[in-house]
Amino acid sequence: MARRIDRPDTPSAQHGRGAVSNPAGRFEAFASVAFDDGWGSLEDDAGRVKTVVAPERAKSIISYNDSPDIPFDRSINPYRGCEHGCSYCYARPSHGYLGLSAGLDFETRLFAKVNAADLLRAELARKSYKPAKIVIGVNTDAYQPIEREHRITRQILEVLVECGHPAGVITKSALVLRDVDLWQALAQRDLGMVQVTVTTLDRALARKLEPRAPTPERRLEAIAGLAQAGVPVCVMASPMIPGLNDHELEAILQRAQEAGAQLASYTLLRLPHEVRALFSDWLQVHAPGKAGHVLRLVDDTRSGPERNSDFGVRMRGQGAYAGLIEQRFAAAIRRLGLDRGDRQLATHHFRPPLKGQLRLF
C-alpha cells in the first residue's frame, strides 16, 4: 500500500533555503499534496529545490505609496521574489498574487523585469512627472544573487544617473559595491544614499535566518566601502525579533558606525498573512527551545496574533517590550552620532531623459 507523505508542506530544513515549507498560496482554490508511490522519489528529491528565473515584461516600473510610515512615496522592484530566503520577509505574501507559495516558491521561483530600464526612461520622460527619491528594492532585494547575471539594477541606476534623479536602495548584499561608481556619481550631487540591512552579527544565526544573503562581515565591509567612496550609508538593524536578535541592537549599531555608517534605523518584526505560519515553522525547526517565547513576545508587541497593522505602529510595534527597544535604539544612536534624521536628497538636478536619436548626441 502506498504511503501518503506531505513532505513539501511539512517543516524541514533544506540546504541553502530559508522557508521550511511551501504551502499553497492564499488565493488558490486547491492545494496539491505530494504522494509517495513506493519508489522513493520524494526522498531522492528532498532538499534539491533549484532557483528558476523567468523573464517578465512589466507594464510599469515605478510603484507609488501614500503610507505615513514610509519616508518615500515611490519605489522600483527589479525582481519578484528574493533568493536571499529570509524566513521572516514581509514581502513573501506578494507571491500569492502570482498563484505561487509564500514559502519556498518566493525564494526559488523568481521573475526578472527585463524591460525595467526602458520603462523607467519612458515614465521619467512624461511631462507630468515630478522627481522625488526613488528607493530600489522594497519588495525584493535589488542586489540578490541573480543580479550578478541580469544586471537590471545597474541598468536602472544608469538611467537615474543620466537624468540626475535622486535614488536610494535597501539591500543586504555586498554586491552593491559593484555599482559604487554609479552610487558615487549620484552622491557627488547629493542624489544618492544606500541603506544596508544588518539583522544579526551572529554568523550561525544569519546562515539560518538569511541563508543566501552575504555574511554580517561582508555587509559591514560594504558599508565601509561605500563610506570610503563618499556615499552616505544608513544601517538598518532590521528586523528586531524579540527574544532572538534584539539583544544585538546596540552591537549592530556600534559596528556599523565604526565601518562608516552615518545614519541608522530599525523596524520591529511583523508577520503579515502567511509569514506568521512560515516563521513559526522556521522557529520549530531551527530554534525549537525558543519558539514559544519568541512568538509570545512578538504577539505582545503586536496586540496579539491578529497583527495590528495600523499606520504609526506597524513598523515599531506597541506595548512595554516594543517601547523598551525604541528607547534603547534612541539612546544608542545619540551616543554614536547616528541620529541625524532622514537624509533629504536633491531634486533640482533632474532632467527628463532624451528621446530617440537625440540620445546619440
**Tens of each residue's pLDDT in the chain, 361 residues:** 333 334 344 566 777 787 776 766 665 554 544 544 444 444 444 456 889 999 999 999 999 998 877 889 999 999 999 999 999 999 999 999 899 999 999 999 999 999 999 999 999 999 999 999 999 999 999 999 999 999 999 999 999 999 999 999 999 999 999 999 999 999 999 999 999 999 999 999 999 999 999 999 999 999 999 999 999 999 999 999 999 999 999 999 999 999 999 999 999 999 998 999 999 999 999 999 999 999 999 999 987 655 555 545 556 788 999 999 999 999 999 999 999 877 789 999 999 998 754 454 4
Coil, strand or helix at 279: helix
- Locate the domains of the chain by residue range: 19-28+49-340+347-353
Contact 357, 278 (CB under 8 A): no
Residue with cell 526522498: 43
361/359 Cα distance (integer angstroms)? 6
Give the position of cell 528558476: 52
Q: Tell me the CB-side half-sphere exposure of residue 268, using CA atoms within 13 A.
A: 31
Q: Which residues, at least 6 apart from 199, have a Cβ–Cβ distance to it below 8 Å?
A: 86, 172, 206, 209, 210, 216, 237, 238, 239, 245
Element at 41 (helix H, strand E): helix 41-45
Q: Tell me if the domain spanning 19-28+49-340+347-353 has CATH number 3.80.30.30.
A: yes
